[in-house]
Structure 1
Amino acid sequence: MKKCLIQRIEWLYMITKEEIYKKAFEEKKKALKEKNARRDMMLAAAYSAQPRFRDIDRELSSIGAKAAIEALSGGNVTELKRRSEALANEKKALLDKYGVKDIEYDCSVCNDTGYVNGKICGCVKKLASFLITEELSHEMPIGRSRFDNFDLKYYPDKDGADGNPRRRMTAVLKACREYALKFDPANSPNLLFMGNTGLGKTHLTLAVAAEIIDKGFIPVYGAAENLFSLIEKEKFSGENRGAYDAMIKSDLLIIDDLGAEMATSFTKSALYNLINTRLLSGRPTIINTNLTMKEIEARYTARISSRLIGNFEAYKFIGADIRQQKALEKIGK
């Protein structure tokens, strides 16, 4: 699964909150335009088939002008109103006869405009969440990596050198659920998931991402190797413009598989800048790694490890490789 993520994550720099909301508004605008066009086509066909529509429209227009004059002169418009209502009812009956219905809006709150009293309607936020989930699902198993299918049966309920895997991972799962439930891009803490490969770090990280997307937040998720590659190409060749900015400003930055990339002076600098800049701006970051803290300090720098120790809540994943366990289950079948 990690290899798949590494190969396919290059699209991520394009995913920003502004762009996903712009896409959501464009989709709503397009859908509303299509609904109006369908009704206009049916209305035109009805007018073509029934001349009475135009007679009614002309009479209603005439009544409107007469009513305005009467109202200005203090005259009685009761009879004009009665006649206007009768014509309106006749027109509605004809429209029903020819199958011309009022537009059925997907959202009755904003009538598919996307705004309510100058504010973005909840339907747009819901659509934006759907779009970002759809984008992510093309590149990673976000639909298959949810809290509900994180199976604790693969973690032995017995004490070992690192503790009891079942109890440890039950606590980690609970912490991740609470993190997603209470997520706030201005106040949520940074998380550091550590442990050997195949223990569920990516699964729980994707589950967190899926939950906050459902709440309308936009994360940026990528393998460390690809994140650093995007930054390098943007800096030196002008490719992937906006990649670094998207990582810095996203509601949540998720760096997966830290340590799998080739360690160079540039990657060390890029990692430090990402971590430090987001710390200074108060934006949360989640990092997954197979490395221990000593290995992180040896591989990168003391500046990086000190920030991880001092500013990240660390969770150590323990147990046996779940992918291997599932593979053995299939063989056994």
Structure 2
Amino acid sequence: MTNMRNFMNGDDFFRFVRDENKPPVRCEYCGRLLYYVYPVVGGRQSSAGFYETCDCEGVKQREVEEERKYIEELQQKAKLARVEKLLSQSNLGRRFRERTFENFRFELNPEAYRVALDYAQNFEVYAHKGQGLIFTGSFGVGKTHLAAAIANYLIIHKSVPVVFGSVSFLLGELKRAYELEAISADRIEKQLCTVDLLVIDDLGKEKPTEWLVEKLYFIINNRYEDYRPVVITTNLTLDEIEQRLNVAGSLAGSAIVSRLVEMCRIVPMHGQDFRLSLRKNAC
């Protein structure tokens, strides 16, 4: 074995020695001979050796490319982890996570589809204005599918936090936290008021107690004042929602609908109950 390289200006404290018994290899880029070497530190030779690395431009470019790919992989893993976290926080169940624009039956409600897709793709523009959507129509025409498709698109493609659920579910969770005097009550209420997009499914289906209507008004009003959008699905007309939420002489329902009209574009949806047609076809 012979001295291969000295890194200490003539001092032998740290150097490499070449293994003459191992044949050299050529750099795949410039053809330079690369030898198998062992590091020697303070006169003690390591038992683990390696082939030299060439410092030509070809190797440098490869290292830059490998670093770029490594960074991209880290970014992709971080994005997937964030998406999974946002999905878990969104309240989207397994069924609704499968509701996408790709598997929506476009021919049933093409205009509603176009409005929903445009809203998702240009969410930043609409969110800046605090503008949301209200999908109206009978059962089984795809209202919830489009609302869930918007939520999934925003979470997966734009990493936008979304909370999804019915009034009964969302406020039921909040009410239980209040009854238990849990610290989470304030957190839940703040999340409903401040999340980037709140999706309320089947508005008007819930039993309108005074507490529920009061909290619903509080949340909608906070979002209205802060230009934070909502997407809503409902089987009722706005007049019917207003009447239903005006409980015990309160006009909170009127105040809620008034704000929603200013905040949201109404998207009517038509057609027969898709789920009912599936059941008929199965018979």
TM-score, scaled relative to structure 1: 0.60
In the alignment, structure 1 residue 308 sits paired with structure 2 residue 260: yes
Aligned equivalents of 2:188, 2:194: Cα separation in 1: 10
Aligned to 2:141: 199
Partner SS, residue 87 of structure 1: strand
Aligned equivalents of 1:315, 1:330: Cα separation in 2: 31
Aligned equivalents of 1:298, 1:289: Cα separation in 2: 14
Partner SS, residue 102 of structure 2: helix
2:229–2:263: 8 Å Cα contact kept in structure 1? no
2:92–2:165: 8 Å Cα contact kept in structure 1? no
Partner SS, residue 220 of structure 1: strand
Partner SS, residue 138 of structure 2: coil
Aligned to 1:149: 103
Task: Tell me which of 185, 195, 198 is aligned to 1:250.
Answer: 195
CA shift at 1:262, angstroms?
Answer: 0.6
CA shift at 1:132, angstroms?
Answer: 3.4
In the alignment, structure 1 residue 321 sits paired with structure 2 residue 273: yes
Aligned equivalents of 1:84, 1:252: Cα separation in 2: 64
Q: Percent identity?
A: 26
The farther-off stretch of 215-224 and 236-245 is 236-245
Tell me the C-alpha RMSD between the 2 structures.
3.2
Residue type matched to 1:295 in 2?
E
| Structure number with bigger Rg | 2
TM-score, scaled relative to structure 2: 0.70
Partner SS, residue 198 of structure 1: coil
In the alignment, structure 1 residue 222 sits paired with structure 2 residue 165: yes
1:136 to 1:244, Cα distance in 2 relative to 1, 3 A: closer
Aligned equivalents of 1:264, 1:84: Cα separation in 2: 84
1:111 to 1:197, Cα distance in 2 relative to 1, 3 A: closer
Structure ranking higher in helix proportion: 1
1:10-66 alpha-carbon deviations (Å, 9 max, x no partner) = xxxxxxxxxxxxxxxxxxxxxxxxxxxxxxxxxxxxxxxxxxxxxxxxxx9xx87xx
2:135–2:143: 8 Å Cα contact kept in structure 1? yes
1:136–1:142: 8 Å Cα contact kept in structure 2? no
Aligned equivalents of 2:180, 2:110: Cα separation in 1: 46
Task: Tell me which of 175, 181, 187 is aligned to 1:232.
Answer: 175
Gaps of 5+ in 1: 1-59, 68-75, 95-103, 113-120, 156-168
Aligned to 2:111: 171
1:137–1:143: 8 Å Cα contact kept in structure 2? no
CA shift at 1:123, angstroms?
Answer: 3.8
Task: Please show how residues 1-333 of structure 1 align to structure 2 within 5 Å.
Answer: 67=8, 76-77=9-10, 83=16, 86-88=37-39, 91-93=48-50, 108-109=70-71, 112=74, 121=75, 123-133=77-87, 139-153=93-107, 155=108, 169-184=109-124, 185-187=127-129, 189-214=131-156, 215-239=158-182, 240-241=184-185, 242-300=187-245, 301-331=253-283
Aligned equivalents of 2:178, 2:91: Cα separation in 1: 28
Aligned equivalents of 2:83, 2:208: Cα separation in 1: 35
2:15–2:39: 8 Å Cα contact kept in structure 1? no
Partner SS, residue 272 of structure 2: coil
1:88 to 1:217, Cα distance in 2 relative to 1, 3 A: farther
Aligned equivalents of 2:11, 2:155: Cα separation in 1: 56
Relative contact order higher in (CA < 8 Å, ≥ 6 apart): 1
